[in-house]
Structure 1
Amino acid sequence: MKFITKKRVVLFLLFIFPLICFLILSTGKNNFTKLPIVTKNITDISKIDGTKKVQLKDNVSIICFLGNDVNTNKSGLFNLNEKVYKKFTDYKKFQIVAIYPNGKETEAEKLKGEIGAFTDMQKWVFMASSKEEIEALYSSFSFDEPLTNLASSKAFLIDKNVNLRGRLKDSDSKDGKLYGYNMNSVSELNAKLKDDVKVLYYEYYAAFKEKNKNKADRKEVGL
């Protein structure tokens, strides 16, 4: 057909097609979904922190359980540091909390020093607590996989309201629920935890924008 020329195809791809896509997206329904809450109102670390300096409230936190042998998940912590922590060091109210039993301070400090050899540790928190308090905190997650010697290979994502976040339709998890992210799996940290932290921050950003929009709307109508 003479009407369909190479020049017209190029013009369509460069100008008309993008415009159509824009119109569809701008008029369509926003399909953004929030990161699911898998357990509400877990125990805040402030209740078991002897220094009273660490809290989950108003922070986006990733919690790790080091156990009696703090080197059990050493490689996993290095993975977490490289694949997740370094991506979010500039984000506000972000922290990684590594919990270990009382009496393991020397080993924990050594591990902290190894991780910090090439990392700004400003948003890493290493915290000691009693066996009973560690177990009580972990129990509040309602996760049916028990700690092993007070340690877990999972990293747990906690929102600003102290809820455990994860996934409810995860094909790799039992019953579809993803409570924690395997620190020993680089692919899981990359494809799931890193993405989920981004989704959580976008959720807060979207809520902030909506709040400001509502304030502006009220001003316009004199409220």
Structure 2
Amino acid sequence: MNKNKIILLFLFVFPIITYLIFASAKHNSLFLKTISENNLEIPSTWKSLNGEDVKLQDKITVLGFVGEDVTANKSNLFNLNQKVYNKYFGFKDFQFVMIAPKGTEQDCLDILDQFKMFSTDLSGWHFVFASNEEIENYYKSFNLVGQLDDKEGTAEVILVDKERNHRGRKGVNKKGEQEYRESYNTISAADLHNEMSDDVKILLREYRLALKKNKRKDDFRDKITEEVEKNNK
């Protein structure tokens, strides 16, 4: 095997070896654990305030279930907006999707109008409406430990990645302790400011690093391949 072929082999094998090393590590702060995979998409019959379809696929999503008493949960949504949305809304493909029962459209619209006093761009906020039974069944499909209340709502929100995988924390943390976190409590500003903000940052960084790595890798490999082919002529 000549030198040029060895170089090409190394360029293709090394990234795989590196990935296996990181994948076998007990903890890697660059990635969030996967709680469940390939979750159900939001049905196309569920419409947003502007009548459009809202999808999880190819989006990083904060997913919540606000329930019938939207006004009573306004402070929770405000915490979410201030502590997380305003911090990260500029990232491409990052969205907030709140599922609400039909009949609460005006209450949801009123909340967004109030958010305009604190946020310059609300294009990443979406309220999607369905029947109570549909909401209940959709929530159950995630197989969460938590439950919806009798008004089809919860103060907890979850993180869903671009492949519709539910992401969070499980296993051994940095302190060597077992942990499990499937959701984040919007009642607690501290919970949002600390744990959720950190996890959103990790998830966004994960995709950003992957994009940068792929771009560097492709450019680098293309250049080396061109040099090898040129020397073989």
What TM-score comes out, normalization by structure 1 length?
Answer: 0.78
Unaligned runs of 5+ in 2: 1-20, 23-27
Match of 1:34 among 31, 36, 39: 31
Question: 1:46, 1:137 → 2: CA distance?
Answer: 9
The residue number in structure 1 matching 2:124 is 123
Contact 1:68 1:104 survives alignment (8 Å): yes
> Which residue identity lines up with residue 55 of structure 1 in the other structure?
K
| Separation in 1, partners of 2:75, 2:29 | 34
CA distance in 1, matches of 2:210, 2:61: 19
**Gap change, CA 1:57 and 1:38, over 3 Å in 2:** same
1:109-163 C-alpha deviation (Å, 9 max, x unpaired) = 2222222333232211111111222112211221122100200001111111111
Q: Retained in 1: the 8 A contact 2:36–2:167?
A: yes
C-alpha displacement of 1:199: 0.5
Give the superposition deviation at 1:53: 2.1
Q: CA deviation at 1:169?
A: 4.2
Letter of the 2:205 partner, please give it: Y
Q: 1:66 Cα shift?
A: 1.0
After the TM superposition, which segments of 4 or more aligned residues of structure 1 sit over 3 Å from their partners?
29-33
Say if 2:30 and 2:205, in contact at 8 Å, map to a contact too. no
Cα distance change, pair 215–166 in 1 and its aligned pair in 2 (3 A)? same
Partner of 1:99: 99
Residue aligning to 1:143: 144
Q: Indicate if the aligned counterparts of 2:61 and 2:160 stay in contact, CA closer than 8 A.
A: yes
Alignment partners' CA distance in 2, 1:151 and 1:94: 22
Equivalent of 2:198 in 182, 190, 195: 195
How much has 1:206 moved relative to structure 2?
Answer: 1.7
**Counterpart AA for 1:165:** R
What does residue 211 of structure 2 align with?
208
TM-score (norm 2): 0.75
- What's the C-alpha RMSD, in Å, of the aligned pairs? 2.2
CA distance in 1, matches of 2:82, 2:117: 12
Higher strand share: 2
Q: CA deviation at 1:170?
A: 8.1
**In 2, Cα distance between equivalents of 1:47 and 1:164:** 20
Counterpart residue identity of residue 72, structure 1: A
| CA spacing shift, 1:169–1:71, aligned 2, 3 Å | farther
Q: Is the contact between residue 66 and residue 72 of structure 1 (CA under 8 Å) also seen in structure 2?
A: no
- Following superposition, the deviation at residue 86 of structure 1 comes to 0.2
What is the CA-CA distance between 1:52 and the residue it aligns to? 5.2
Equivalents in 2 of 1:210, 1:133: separation in Å? 40
Bigger Rg over Cα: 1
Asked whether the 8 Å contact 1:60–1:93 carries over to 2, the reply is: yes
Q: Could you say if the C-alpha distance between residues 48 and 166 of structure 1 is closer, same or farther in structure 2, counting changes exceeding 3 Å? A: farther
Q: 1:221 aligns with which of 204, 225, 228?
A: 225
| Alpha-carbon separation, structure 1, partners of 2:36 and 2:169 | 11
Asked whether the equivalents of residues 153 and 184 of structure 1 are also in contact (C-alpha less than 8 Å), the reply is yes
Structure 1 window deviating more from structure 2 (134-143 vs 74-83): it is 134-143
Q: Given the alignment of the two structures, is residue 44 of structure 1 paired with residue 47 of structure 2, yes or no?
A: no
Task: Return the letter of the residue paired with 2:147.
Answer: P
What is the CA distance between 1:209 and its match in structure 2? Answer: 2.3
